[in-house]
Amino acid sequence: MRHLRTAAAIALILAASFSLSAQNHAPVPSRTQRSYSAAPKRPSGMPESVYCEALRNHVQGLAVDLRKGCMYFSFTTTFIKTDLSGRVIGTIDRIQGHLGAMTLNPDDGYVYASLECKDDVIGQGIAKGLGVAVAAQSSFYVAIIDVDRVNRRGMDPERDPVLRTVCITDACEDYDARLVNFGRPVEHRYGCSGIDGITCAPKIGARGGRNRIYVAYGIYGDNNRTDNDYQVILCYDPAKLRRMSQPMRFGTLHTVGPRHPQQKYFIYTGNTEWGVQNLMYDPFTREIFMAVYSGHKPEYANFKLMSFSVDQKPFRAPLAGCSYDMARKTQLVTSDMGMRDPRNGLCGWFFKYGSTGMTSLGNGYYIFSENGKNRAGNQCTDARLYRWTGDPVTPFVPAGR
C-alpha cells in the first residue's frame, strides 16, 4: 500500500530540503514497488515497433487507437496519421505553432494535443518555416483533431475541417504575469513557460464517471527561483473544450476558452527543465506518469520520470517558496515508486524514454517514442512496445525481452 504524505509532512520535507547542502545523495530503491509475476496478455495487433519520420522538427508526442488500427504522431508543426505498419494515411501540415504531446480520448475518438503559439525564439523559427508573421503575443491552446477526417497527405489546418483549438486561459495569464518573489522580480507565475503534457484520465479521487483532459504546464528551469518546484496540472471537461473550440486562422490568436479549469493541481517534484513533456494515464497501475527533462537544482535527484495516483485524495495547503501567492492550493503527491531521494522523500525513475511520446495500451503494455535522426538526416521515431516490470531502476522493458 503506497504511503501518501500529509501536507504537514510535505512542509517539513520542503523546509529541510532547502537547508541541505549540494552533496551527492544517491537515490535508493523505494519501499513501495509493484511488480507482477504473471506476464499480462499482449495487445493483439500491435507490432514490436512502428516507424515514423518527418523532416526537420523532432517528434513531440504520440497516440494509438488499436480498435481502428491507427497511430498518431506530432512532429512540432506536422500531425501524422499512420496504420500499425507505419504506412502514412494522412498528414496535417503547416500547423501554426508548437504541436506537442497528445492523447486519444476513447469516449469521443478525438485526439487532444497541446499547442503553443509563442513570440519567443521557438515561435519565430516556426513562423519563418511556415512563412507567416510571428505571433504578437504568446497564447496556449488544446488542439482537438478529428482523426477520422485525416485521410490524405498535406491537409491544411485552415482550409480542411480537421483541427480546432480552444484557449487555455490560466496558462496564458500565468505566463504573462510579472511578480515579486521574496523581494526578487520574476516573470511567469510558478515558472510557467506554456503547456505541453496532456492525457485523458478519470476524475482524480473518484471511481467511475467520464474521463477528463489533464494539461500540464511547461516550467522554466531556473536554479535561482524557489517558486518553480511544482508541476501544475489543469483539469477540463472534454465536452466543454469541444463546444468552445474554434477553427484555426493563420496570423490570428483567439482567446476563446474556459475562464478557469475544473481543477488546478500542484505537485511538488522539484524544478524540471521545461516541465512535463508528456503525461500518460495508465489504467493498469491507475497512475499518471510524468516524463520530464531533468532539472538541475543540486538539492534534488532530478528524475526523468515520476508518477502520481488518480486514487489519492487531493489536499489544500500553501505552496512552499512562493511569497506572491500564499493562498491554499489544491495539491497532489507523487507515488512512492521507483528510486527514492533520501533528502526529501521524492521518488521517480531515470528511465530514458517518454519525453517525446508515450501512451498506455492497458494491461501492462505501453508505447514509448525512441526518437532520433535517420541516415538522410530526417527526424524520426521508433514507437516501441514496452511492458511494465515495477522495478525501481527499470520500470519498463521492451515487450520482446
Given this model, what pLDDT does residue 19 score? 40
pLDDT at 63 over 80: yes
**Band (35; pLDDT cuts 50, 70, 90):** low
The pLDDT of residue 208? 79
Residue 2 lies in a domain: no
Reply yes or no on whether the pLDDT at 283 is more than 80: yes
Indicate the pLDDT class of residue 12, thresholds 50, 70 and 90: very low
**pLDDT score of 366 more than 50:** yes
Q: Is the pLDDT of residue 196 over 60?
A: yes
Q: Write phi, then psi, for 295 (nearest 5 degrees).
A: -80, -175
Average pLDDT of the residues in 338-364: 96
In a domain, residue 281? The reply is yes
Task: Please count the structural domains in the chain.
Answer: 1
Instruction: Identify whether 155 is part of a domain.
Output: yes
Is residue 5, in this structure, part of any structural domain at all? no
Q: What is the pLDDT of residue 132?
A: 67
Per-residue pLDDT tens over the stretch 143-171: 999 999 999 999 999 999 999 999 999 99
Looking at the whole model, is its pTM more than 0.85?
yes
Residue 400 has pLDDT above 90, yes or no: no
Q: Which of 34-43, 44-53, 350-359 is predicted least confidently? A: 34-43
* 2 pLDDT more than 60: no
Domain limits for position 320 = 24-398
Whether 315 has a pLDDT exceeding 60, the answer reads yes
The answer to whether position 17 is within a domain reads no
For residue 236, name the pLDDT band (cuts at 50, 70, 90): very high
CATH number at residue 92: 2.130.10
pLDDT in tens, 72-117: 999 999 999 999 999 999 999 989 899 999 999 999 999 999 999 9
Q: pLDDT band for position 119 (50/70/90)?
A: confident
The 3-class SS string of the chain reads CCCCCCHHHHHHHHHHHHHCCCCCCCCEECCCCCCCCCCCCCCCCCCCEEEEECCCCCCCEEEEECCCCEEEEECECCEEEEECCCCEEEEECCCCCEEEEEEECCCCCCEEEEEEECCCHHHHHHHHHHCCCCCCCCEEEEEEECHHHCCCCCECCCCCCCEEEEECHHHHHHHHCEEEECCEEEECHHHEEEEEEEEEECCCCCCCCCCEEEEEEEECCCCCCCCCCEEEEEEECHHHHHHHCEECCCCCCCCCCCCCCCEEEEEECCCCEEEEEEEEEECCCCEEEEEEECCCCCCCCCCCEEEEECCCCCEEECCCCCCCCCCCEEEECCCCCCEECCCCCCEEECCCCCCCCEEEEECCEEEEEEEEECCCCCEEEEEEEEEECCCCCCCEEECCC
Query: Is 258 inside any structural domain?
Result: yes
pLDDT surpassing 70 at residue 39: no
pLDDT at 268: 98
Please indicate, yes or no, if residue 14 is contained in any of the structural domains: no
- 20 pLDDT band, cuts 50/70/90, is very low
> Looking at the domain assignment, is residue 4 inside a domain?
no
